[in-house]
Amino acid sequence: MINKTEKIPEKINVQSEIGKLEAVLLHSPGYEVENMTPRNAQRALYSDILNLSIAQREYEQLSGVLNKVSKCYQVKDLLIKLLENHQEREALVGKICVTENVTDYFEYLMDMSSKSLAQVLIEGLPARINTLTAYLKDDYYALLPLYNFYFTRDASVSIGNRMLICRMASKVRLRESLITEAIFKNSNFFETELINAHDFQPGNASIFIEGGDVLVAREDILVIGNGSRTSSQGIDMLVSRLCKSSGGEKKHIIVQQLPETPESFIHLDMVFTLLDVDKAMVFEPLILGENQYQTVHMIIEGGKVTKIKSVNNIISVLKRLGMDLEPVLCGGGADEWNQEREQWHSGSNFFAFAPGKVMSYARNVHTLNELSDSGFEIITAKEVITSKKNLDSYKRCVVTIDGSELPRGGGGPRCMTMPLRRAAVEWPE
């Protein structure tokens, strides 16, 4: 929840994946998740349907820990505030109605209270079956529920003091981007410069990019996945915008190609995440093993791309750039079966809320054993929330949350968190 006494707008500033978290954007899963049926699960990008009550209890562990360490903003709270302004409401509702071809609902939506409107924009709006066209369409919803919105990572990316509004690969997630854009465009909430992927060649369907594929490794280094959710054209769009705003400074873009299948490889953060100044979680077969997927290093100097070349892997090129990372293996190093099984359940998807302090699902026991061997203390979210464990007492730790339902949506703690501000990191000399 937003503290009404706190000073806004919040300044966006994210220069790393691991800096101490100071502000984060969340969306607690609600009835939009329960509004999914087996018939439309595939359209919702899910392989299964969730038990909402259990998913909410699991999510409360994530949000409970984050509320102890940072400011937490909720999408729905911000959206309600936004909709109280008639001009903002008209702009957002109009854009949604046009893009989703439901302009006949515009006046109906505009007449709703802000709270009710925010609810239907997220949870879905049942269709009025009052015309032959509506009847033949055979779809219960005029506005589909935003089943994936609790993965707040994907619709936007904080890059320094700029905010990239993503153009996501699936049309079912378009409204997430539109809502996120409206929130970050509102100068009463946040102070940032927008990079809007929707404004760049709007008719070019091959341009798409999602936040799960974009990692801010260091102030001058981005690591980006290129796969089913982020196209090479989407990366080129971001690079061109970064060239214009680089101010002549040298920047590095490291691109990792990803397999189209299985679906657990949807984003780079499902196979590679940063844990500390000297450690990274990796899915070994893809990130370190011999395979057909390229790692490409792009260099920006003087406002233009000056070099593009293939490199061995992410870890090796980061080392050459001064980030010497020890890889910790998802699923452990002893058994490929455990590696694949735990990667499937977001075993590589860690969220750092401070250097060496990360969050993970408790179910991935082989991965947690690897972290324990690397000097990370394993503690539970419940112990942190009830103050049985003090996070300040640990140099390195993994805070575990229960994960029987949330992983069914296809993501982990990093997917469910959108950092807005992090403290600077003291990198080793």
Q: Where are the domains of the chain?
A: 10-83+145-422
Where does the pLDDT of residue 371 fall: very low under 50, low under 70, confident under 90, or very high at 90 and above? very high
Where does the pLDDT of residue 36 fall: very low under 50, low under 70, confident under 90, or very high at 90 and above? low
Where does the pLDDT of residue 40 fall: very low under 50, low under 70, confident under 90, or very high at 90 and above? low
**Which position has the token pair 């993994």?**
398
Rounded CA-CA distance 184/198 in Å is 14
For domain 10-83+145-422, give the CATH superfamily.
L-arginine/glycine Amidinotransferase; Chain A (3.75.10.10)
Residue 376 DSSP class? P
Rounded CA-CA distance 70/62 in Å is 12
**Which position has the token pair 């929840």?**
1
The residue among 269, 259, 181, 166 whose CA lies nearest residue 217 is 269
State the pLDDT at residue 5: 44
Where does the pLDDT of residue 34 fall: very low under 50, low under 70, confident under 90, or very high at 90 and above? confident
- Could you report the per-residue pLDDT of 246-300, keeping only the tens digit for each? 777 899 999 999 998 877 789 999 999 999 999 999 999 999 988 899 999 999 9
Range name among 34-38, 48-52, 98-102, 216-220 with the lowest pLDDT average: 34-38
Helix or strand run (H / E) with residue 23: strand 21-26
- Could you report the per-residue pLDDT of 77-121, keeping only the tens digit for each? 999 999 999 999 999 999 999 999 999 999 999 999 999 999 999
Where does the pLDDT of residue 47 fall: very low under 50, low under 70, confident under 90, or very high at 90 and above? low
* Assigned token pair, 178: 């539109």
The residue among 22, 66, 18 whose CA lies nearest residue 280 is 18
